[in-house]
Amino acid sequence: MERVLLTVVPYHRAVLVAATIGIAIAGGRVAGDPGEVGGWLVLTGSTALLALADVCSDLNKRAEVLAASAGVERRAALKDLYAAESQRKAYWLLPVGAVLLLAAALIYALGG
């Protein structure tokens, strides 16, 4: 899982945009029908991905600073930061967000 998260870090802006779009769409659906489970799942999953984008953005910025000051490759600095700070919240944000979004997709596919 660590390798997946470290792969997501450089693409934090894309995750941010996707999560924001998901929140906007789901927010409208939930406002229209608060009983719609799929809308709540998309809203919650997108919120988890938005939090992941924030954590990844912070890691990316600090890895760039560390790489420049220590004279090492940014990827190595990113691994060191991740290992040193043990980003436990980031570890769970991606799978939780993905599972919630997949559950919503399944509900919508089945006509719920």
SS3 state of residue 72: coil
Q: Both tokens of residue 40?
A: 């709540």
Instruction: Look up residue 75 and give its two tokens.
Output: 């990827």
What is the structure's pLDDT at 90? 75
Query: What residue type is 25 in one-letter code?
Result: I
- Residue range 88-112: average pLDDT? 88
Which of 53, 75, 73 minimizes the C-alpha distance to 8?
A: 53
Where do the structural domains in the chain lie, given as residue ranges? 2-106
Radius of gyration for the alpha carbons in the chain, expressed in angstroms and rounded: 16
Rounded to the nearest integer, the mean pLDDT of the chain is 89
Look up the pTM and report it: 0.86
**What is the average pLDDT across 80-85?**
81
Q: Are 55 and 90 in contact (CB under 8 A)?
A: yes
- Of the candidates 50, 63, 61, the one whose C-alpha atom is nearest the C-alpha of residue 14 is 50
Confidence of residue 13 (pLDDT cuts 50, 70, 90): very high
Tokens of 42: 């998309």
Q: Residues 24-73: pLDDT tens digits?
A: 999 999 999 999 999 999 999 999 999 999 988 988 899 999 999 988 88
- The predicted pLDDT at position 110 comes to 93
Evaluate whether 30 touches 40 at the Cβ level (below 8 Å). Answer: yes
What per-residue confidence (pLDDT) applies to 65?
92
